[in-house]
Amino acid sequence: MDLATPDELARLEEMIDHWLEAEMADNPVIDAVERHHGDQRRWYVRVLGDDKDVWTLWLTLGQRTLRHETYVMPAPEENAERFYRHLLVRNHKFNGMAFEIGDEDAIFLRGSLPVAAVNESELDRILGSTWAYVEQCFRPAMRIGFANRFKG
């Protein structure tokens, strides 16, 4: 995979900024957008859900890929084997994303896209797929990994 040139990265940054501005104006699930100003090209997109009320999609543009991820939930308190099996089975049905274990054994949903493939349609797909996967999986996973909290 080739490295993107500084001009290509600048063009992609501008395209992502414009896409996010339009999403903020037109998409009711987008609650807020923040841009990281520092050594990384990173955006934080606050998203409103149904089963998981609020979550953040992180978009990180690198020289080779656009990485996208969201924190889903902490490590399970119980039923760990069943919990992880549930997530692994769900991974099989996903397109371009997968559940992963991150810091403190927390569960993240992550994916990446080559910079050459980044366009508004792909950004729409990333946002829509992430929203759908979080909504489909959050409540069932919580009921498995935190079952005692749902009793009564």
pLDDT of residue 144: 97
Q: Which of 1.10.357.10, 3.20.20.70, 1.10.10.60, 3.30.1460.10 is the CATH number of 6-146? A: 3.30.1460.10
Q: Which of 40, 32, 81, 80 is nearest to 62 (CA)?
A: 40
Over residues 80-84, the mean pLDDT reads: 97
At a CB cut-off of 8 Å and minimum separation 6, what does 23 contact?
A: 30, 33, 45, 127
DSSP 41-63: EEEEEEEE-SSS-EEEEEEEE-S
Percent of the chain whose pLDDT exceeds 90:
93
Are the CB atoms for 87 and 42 separated by under 8 Å?
A: no
Q: What is the mean pLDDT of the chain?
A: 95
- Asked if the model's pLDDT at residue 152 lies above 80, the reply is no
pTM for the full predicted model: 0.93
**Residue 125 — very low, low, confident or very high, per pLDDT cuts 50/70/90?**
very high
Asked if residue 83 has pLDDT above 90, the reply is: yes
pLDDT value at 38 more than 90: no
